[in-house]
């Protein structure tokens, strides 16, 4: 019996959100919250069952139908190494649509359909590219349970975290690597690649930052179209993630900012240049923070950068009254904060000092935020990336 669990973290954008769309650098960091996936094979079963807690749904794949799909794909595209995954995604969409049409009952919700396509696509991709068995099929059923601490659509990389966890499980199942070798560079690159493919199902044209940071961990400097560099940080930062409980559409917000940039091109370009300089100023602070030399001064500089970054984001109109309430509560208590991601809702980050738990003012801050109706999560930014571990009965 094969059984293991995968923990895939979520992410926050520390600096550079929105500017990253215009080829300026952004800093993204993993957070201590994430997605937990458990996989167990089931002897005698011919069904792959997926229990998705965050979406409150269960998806099932009959192995006979899945293996038949693999056979048809191999016949239609003999020798295809899946260098171009568009063909596979197209075939999977058609197959899933057929299966959903045949199933009895009401049409699943859109997010359930996307989840089904993503699962089918990643599983098919992992099996079709299996390094040792070019004609591999699945002969034993298995059960997958996915739980997430990340709110869907809130800017914490929930879909990339989910995609990275699924990709890891399927790649292990198909023999690409095992629980002891997944951290090798080529294997992490493979996980990140398929997590990006999952992001394509959910978002169409993802930037690549979410799947990368969720896989590798730490803090990454990312420029769209130019890849990423890992910062050599000494230790993770303590942060408070505050959920405004305001949902929003990232695509709509990005479109509004684009319209503003078209209306005032020189002014908005100056803001993007400021964001670029801010990232350049932040990188050495993050890399040296935690080496015990002048940490208090570095922390104060990071606080100021948080404030400047937040003011730049306010200038492009992506704040919200609920976010402003969070900023006011934090500032009143002496803490510095900023929105993260698209803004206009979602989460805010509050920077926490070392030994914050011994600080009475911190507890008052937390209490006041909770009393105002906000979701509050104490966590870290810049910790470990994806991890696989054994699963006990």
DSSP labels, 320-363: -HHHHHHHHHHHHTT--EEE-TT-SSSEEEEEE-TTGGG-HHHH
190, pLDDT greater than 90? yes
Annotated catalytic residue within 161, 192, 210, 337: 210
- Confidence at residue 85, expressed as pLDDT on a 0 to 100 scale: 85
| Distances from the Cα of 3 to the Cα of 37, 38, 39, 88, 144, angstroms | 11, 7, 5, 28, 10
- Confidence at residue 90, expressed as pLDDT on a 0 to 100 scale: 93
393, pLDDT greater than 70? no
How much is the mean pLDDT over the chain?
90
What gap in Å lies between CA 150 and CA 351, rounded to an integer? 19
Instruction: Give the residue with greater pLDDT, 308 vs 114.
Output: 308
- Confidence at residue 280, expressed as pLDDT on a 0 to 100 scale: 96
Instruction: Give the residue with greater pLDDT, 184 vs 201.
Output: 184
Q: pLDDT tens digits for 3-48?
A: 999 999 999 999 999 998 899 999 999 998 899 999 999 988 999 9
Mean pLDDT of 134-160: 85
Going by C-alpha positions, the residue among 62, 5, 10 that lies closest to residue 346 is 10
- Confidence at residue 91, expressed as pLDDT on a 0 to 100 scale: 93
What gap in Å lies between CA 285 and CA 314, rounded to an integer? 24
The residue extents of the domains of the chain are 3-231+384-390, 237-380
Taking the alpha carbons of 151, 193, 146, 183 in that order, is the dihedral positive or negative?
negative
Q: Which residue has the tokens 């803490």?
A: 335
Annotated catalytic residue within 148, 159, 161, 337: 159
CATH 3.40.640.10 fits domain 3-231+384-390 = no
201, pLDDT greater than 80? yes
Instruction: Give the residue with greater pLDDT, 281 vs 210.
Output: 281
Q: What global pTM score does this model have?
A: 0.88
Tokens linked to 295: 């940490």
DSSP labels, 245-283: -----HHHHHHHHHHHHHHSHHHHHHHHHHHHHHHHHHH
- Confidence at residue 105, expressed as pLDDT on a 0 to 100 scale: 55
**CATH placement of domain 237-380:** 3.30.70.890
For residue 32, the SS3 value is strand
- Confidence at residue 248, expressed as pLDDT on a 0 to 100 scale: 81
Residue 207 pLDDT level (bands cut at 50, 70, 90)? confident
- Confidence at residue 121, expressed as pLDDT on a 0 to 100 scale: 95
- Confidence at residue 107, expressed as pLDDT on a 0 to 100 scale: 57
Residue 149 pLDDT level (bands cut at 50, 70, 90)? confident
Asked whether 33 and 377 are in contact (CB, 8 A), the reply is: yes
Q: pLDDT tens digits for 288-332?
A: 988 777 788 999 999 999 999 999 999 999 999 999 999 999 999
389, pLDDT greater than 90? yes
Residue 349 phi, psi (nearest 5): -115, 135
Is 178 among the catalytic positions?
Answer: no
Going by C-alpha positions, the residue among 65, 31, 374 that lies closest to residue 214 is 31
- Confidence at residue 103, expressed as pLDDT on a 0 to 100 scale: 65
Question: What percentage of residues in the chain have a pLDDT greater than 90?
Answer: 67
Question: What percentage of residues in the chain have a pLDDT greater than 70?
Answer: 97
Is 230 among the catalytic positions?
Answer: no
Q: pLDDT tens digits for 353-376?
A: 988 999 999 999 999 999 999 999
Q: pLDDT tens digits for 246-278?
A: 988 887 898 999 999 999 999 999 999 999 999
Residue 129 pLDDT level (bands cut at 50, 70, 90)? very high
- Confidence at residue 334, expressed as pLDDT on a 0 to 100 scale: 95
Strand pairing report for 141-148 and 47-52: parallel
Residue 200 pLDDT level (bands cut at 50, 70, 90)? confident
Going by C-alpha positions, the residue among 64, 71, 73 that lies closest to residue 92 is 73
Asked whether 105 and 97 are in contact (CB, 8 A), the reply is: no
Mean pLDDT of 91-110: 76
136, pLDDT greater than 80? yes
Burial class (CB in 10 A: 0-12, 13-18, 19+), 80: middle
Per-residue b/e over 132-164, b at no fewer than 16 CB within 10 Å? Answer: eeeebebeebbbbbbebbbbebbbbbbbbbbbb
């Amino acid at each position: 019996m094969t059984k293991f669990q995968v923990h895939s973290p979520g992410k926050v954008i520390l600096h550079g959100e929105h500017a990253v769309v215009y080829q300026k650098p952004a800093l993204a960091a993993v957070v201590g919250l994430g997605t937990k996936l458990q996989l167990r094979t089931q002897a005698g079963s011919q069904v792959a069952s997926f229990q998705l807690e965050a979406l409150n749904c269960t998806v099932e794949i009959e192995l006979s139908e899945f293996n038949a799909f693999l056979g048809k794909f191999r016949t239609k595209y003999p020798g295809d190494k899946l260098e171009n995954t568009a063909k596979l995604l197209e075939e999977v969409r058609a197959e899933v649509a057929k299966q959903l049409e045949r199933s009895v009952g009401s049409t699943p919700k859109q997010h359930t359909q996307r989840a089904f396509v993503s699962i089918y696509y990643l599983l098919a991709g992992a099996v079709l590219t299996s390094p040792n068995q070019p004609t591999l099929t699945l002969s034993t059923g298995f059960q997958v349970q996915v739980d997430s601490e990340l709110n869907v659509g809130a800017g914490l990389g929930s879909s990339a975290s989910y995609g990275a966890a699924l990709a890891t499980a399927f790649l292990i199942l198909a023999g690409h690597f095992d629980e002891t070798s997944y951290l090798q560079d080529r294997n992490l690159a493979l996980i990140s690649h398929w997590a990006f493919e999952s992001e394509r199902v959910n978002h169409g044209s993802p930037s690549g930052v979410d799947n990368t940071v969720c896989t590798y961990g730490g803090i990454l400097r990312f420029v769209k179209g130019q890849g990423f560099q890992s910062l050599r940080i000494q230790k993770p930062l303590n942060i408070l993630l505050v959920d405004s409980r305001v949902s929003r559409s990232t695509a709509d917000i990005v479109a509004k900012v684009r319209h503003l940039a078209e209306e005032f091109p020189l002014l908005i370009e100056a803001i993007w240049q400021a964001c670029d300089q801010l990232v350049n100023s932040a990188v050495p602070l993050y890399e040296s923070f935690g080496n015990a030399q002048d940490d208090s001064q570095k922390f104060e500089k990071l606080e100021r950068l948080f404030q400047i970054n937040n003011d730049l984001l306010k200038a492009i109109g992506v704040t919200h009254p609920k976010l402003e309430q969070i900023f006011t509560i934090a500032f009143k208590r002496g803490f510095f904060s900023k929105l993260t991601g698209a803004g206009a809702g979602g989460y805010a980050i509050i920077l926490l000092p070392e030994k914050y738990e011994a600080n009475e003012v911190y507890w008052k801050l937390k209490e006041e935020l909770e009393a105002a109706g906000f979701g509050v999560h104490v966590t870290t930014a810049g910790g470990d990336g994806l991890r696989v571990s054994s699963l006990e009965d």
